[in-house]
Chains A and B, each alone.
Chain A
Amino acid sequence: MTATTDTTDSESEKRSGPTFEVPVPETDASGVEDSVPCPYCDRPFRRERLRDLHVGEVHPAECTDEEYAAYETALDDEKDDLFTFHMQIVVTLGLLFFVFVFSYMGVVTLL
């Protein structure tokens, strides 16, 4: 099963999507009652935001303007979370680096 993205709709031509066929994964939503399905490929998601992101990414040509707007909103929301996340990553990387450099110095002088 694959989802093709062809740009026949003139309004959605500027929306870019994958230029190749993206496989639709096998899913298992058993035990999850409030899953949100994609209207184009039926793939279920745990949250609406993830579904919106998926629709904009994989079906940019077929989706409606409202759906594309929802995608852009979800992308914007994620941007804030991603910024916080990246700050944490940079701090962790810095810490990791110093821990290794100092323990290298410690290890070679002590042992």
Chain B
Amino acid sequence: MRTRRLVAVVLAVALASFVDPAMAHASGLGSQDAGDAPFWFVMVTGGGVVGGSFLFATLLTDHEAIRMVNAWRLRVPVDGRLRRAVVALAGLASVAALAGILYVAFAGPANGQSNAAVLVVWAGWWAGYTISVYLLADTWPLVDPWRRIAGLLPRFDRRYPERFGSWPAVAGLLGLVWLEVVSPVSENPRLLGVVVAGYTVVTLAGAVVFGPDAWFGHVDPIAHAFRFFGRIAPVQRTDDGLAVGLPASTLAHPSEPARDETAFIVALLWATTYDGLVSTGPWALAAEFLVGVGVPPLLLYLGLLVTGYALFRFVYRVASARARESAESLVSPGYVARWFAPALLPIAAGYHVAHFLGYFLQLSEQLLRTVSAPLTTTTISLVSLPGWFSSLQLVFVVAGHLFAIWVAHALSFELFPGRLQPIRSQYPFTFVMIFYTMTSMWIIAQPYTPPPYV
């Protein structure tokens, strides 16, 4: 209960600081010992912070200044020899890690909690490493073991059917999330080994048939996810080294948006929400009811996955069409959707960090213990997190939306002329975002309920 009050105070102070910075420091909201704020009020405050930030952003209409902030870069040249050495070492290490994961998955302890492969894949890689990709830099091309192995294999370079676009990656991502939810792959080391081995075989075969560029550029869902998450990162790769900019500023650079990027970005957003939604109490109740009336469980989870994705696409498409109208523009609705899609990425990242940072920290000690003794069974030890951590999660959700507002604000000035038209284009998106913030906060705050029937 204390945490809810804390969140309300943090969010109220954040809201206040947008209006009057002096007031935020002097008001001392925390000093008065008030009662607990109910959770719905915390949610509404989160939505209010997002709406308020949009209003605040509308006061910043100096196009040159917006461009300057986003274009600020600190260039760090990297010596060619050093670069090649790092690339070679990272390649060897990543292939060794993949081999190690496969070996330990089958030969290590059968109990997931003491199997290093399970901990490395879920806590180390999907939680911790992914966080590093969007908070720091996209290092995946450096350590992608499949791409490294594929580079050594022969290739037939069969033409990749362009009409499929990135849809295989969308299907692959949603498929992996579905598998993670419905199967014990996140706790059963042997099954994890089978999945990793299967993924390896499919990926390498695809890269051999279509060539690595086509495969990792269109089909491989993991490479796709990291490429998009990596665009948020402050550190970006340049031709002669690295460039450090402000977080998410790369997303604000106007470039011809690729046709099929939106489908994947929306899938990434929905995948993070889906993962959280299926472990809430209300979903468990709904699932029990639907399975009770005869819906097969696996189909139910697949149905939710597909329906939710379709709903997200629909809402985003409607918002884009409305944006065209509120901005009085003649840019096609599809182009509006593609143009603003990068702004959705910080929302997905904010949700991911809210969902997985705690998981990673709790399991971090266990991760180190199992990796240092991969073949022995150890007892589980969880790092306990302080009580205020759950409040921090809500702040992460809101923060993702604030970055999204800034990116969309900057992008709107590149697409629409003048200053009022760009601002007006953002009304529908902001409206949707306020509700999405509140929904995500609700999901994050639900006590974990194991998804039933799977």
Interface contact B420-A81, CB-CB below 8 Å: yes
Partner of A50, one of B18, B45, B257, B328: B328
* B141 within 8 A of partner (CB): no
Does chain A have a CB within 8 A of B419? yes
The docked-state distance in angstroms from the alpha carbon of A18 to that of B254 is 11
Give A16 to B36 CA distance when docked, in angstroms: 54
Against B, the Cβ 8 Å flags (1 = close, 0 = not) of A85-111 are 110011011101100110111011101
Given A89-B58, A96-B15, A109-B34, A26 contacting B418 (CB threshold 8 A): no
Q: Do the beta carbons of A2 and B256 come within 8 Å of each other?
A: yes
For A50-68 the 0/1 string (1 means CB < 8 A from B) is 1101100110000000000
- A50-B59 in contact given A26-B335, A93-B19, A100-B48 (Cβ < 8 Å): no
Q: Which B residues touch A20, using CB under 8 A? A: 253-254
- CB <8 Å contact, B41 and A78: no
Stretch in B49-57, B145-153, B216-224, B228-236 touching the partner: B49-57
CA–CA, A103 to B40, complex, Å?
12
Q: Once the chains are docked, how many angstroms separate the CA of A97 from the CA of B15?
A: 7
Q: Which of B255-272 contact A (CB under 8 A)?
A: 255-257
The CA-CA distance from A45 to B29 in the complex, in Å, is 49
Q: Does A69 contact B (CB under 8 A)?
A: no
- Cross-chain contact A32 with B52 (CB below 8 angstroms): no
CA distance A50 to B330 in the complex (A): 11
Q: Which positions 32-87 of chain A face chain B at CB distance < 8 Å?
A: 32, 35, 43-47, 49-51, 53-54, 57-58, 74-75, 78, 81-82, 85-86
* Contact mask for chain B residues 320-357; partner A; CB cutoff 8 A; 1 contact, 0 none: 00000000111111110001000000000000000000
A28 touches B332 (CB 8 A): yes
With beta carbons under 8 angstroms apart, the residue of B5, B19, B254 that contacts A23 is B254
CA distance A93 to B257 in the complex (A): 33
CA distance A90 to B55 in the complex (A): 8
The closest CB in chain A to the CB of B328 belongs to A46
A8 is an interface residue with CB less than 8 A from chain B: no
Taking A50-B328, A109-B34 as contacts, is the C-beta distance between A23 and B417 under 8 angstroms? Answer: no
Asked if A10 CB lies within 8 Å of chain B CBs, one says no
A86 pairs with B58, CB closer than 8 A: yes
A28's nearest neighbour on chain B, judged by CB, is B332
Q: Contact check, A108 vs B34: say whether CB atoms are below 8 A apart.
A: yes
- Name the interface size band of chain A: 35 or more
**Binary A-proximity of B410-422 (CB < 8 A = 1, otherwise 0):** 0000110111110
- Whether B18 pairs with A25 at a CB distance below 8 angstroms is no
Kindly list chain A residues whose C-beta atoms are within 8 Å of the C-beta of B94. Answer: none
CA distance A108 to B33 in the complex (A): 10
B61 CB within 8 Å of chain A: yes
B154 on the A face (CB < 8 A): no
Contacts A47-B328, A101-B12, A104-B41; A22 near B414 (Cβ below 8 A) = yes
Smallest CB separation, A89 vs chain B (Å) = 5
Known: A23-B255, A78-B419, A96-B15. A89 touches B59 (CB 8 A): yes
B15, closest chain A residue (CB): A100
A104 touches B330 (CB 8 A): no
Instruction: Determine the chain B residues whose CB is within 8 A of the CB of A101 once the complex forms.
Output: 12, 16
Contact of B12 with A92 in the complex, beta carbons under 8 Å: no
Q: How far is the CA of A18 from the CA of B414 in the complex (A)?
A: 9
Q: How far is the CB of A43 from chain B (nearest CB, A)?
A: 8
Contact B12 A100 (CB under 8 A): yes
Taking a contact as CB atoms under 8 Å apart, the answer to whether B51 and A96 are in contact is: yes
- A-chain residues with CB within 8 Å of residue B36 when the two chains form the complex: 108, 111
Interface residues of A (CB under 8 A from B): 2, 16, 18, 20, 22-23, 25-29, 32, 35, 43-47, 49-51, 53-54, 57-58, 74-75, 78, 81-82, 85-86, 89-90, 92-94, 96-97, 100-101, 103-105, 107-109, 111
By a beta-carbon cutoff of 8 Å, the part of chain B in contact with chain A is: 5, 8, 12, 15-16, 18-20, 29, 34-38, 41, 45, 48, 51-52, 55-56, 58-59, 61, 63-64, 67, 253-257, 328-335, 339, 414-415, 417-421, 423
Please provide the 10 A-B residue pairs with the shortest distance between their CB atoms, ordered closest to farther. A53-B417, A108-B34, A54-B417, A28-B332, A53-B418, A23-B256, A26-B335, A108-B35, A97-B19, A25-B331
7 pairs from A and B in contact (CB 8 Å cutoff)? A50-B418, A53-B421, A57-B63, A78-B418, A100-B12, A108-B34, A109-B34
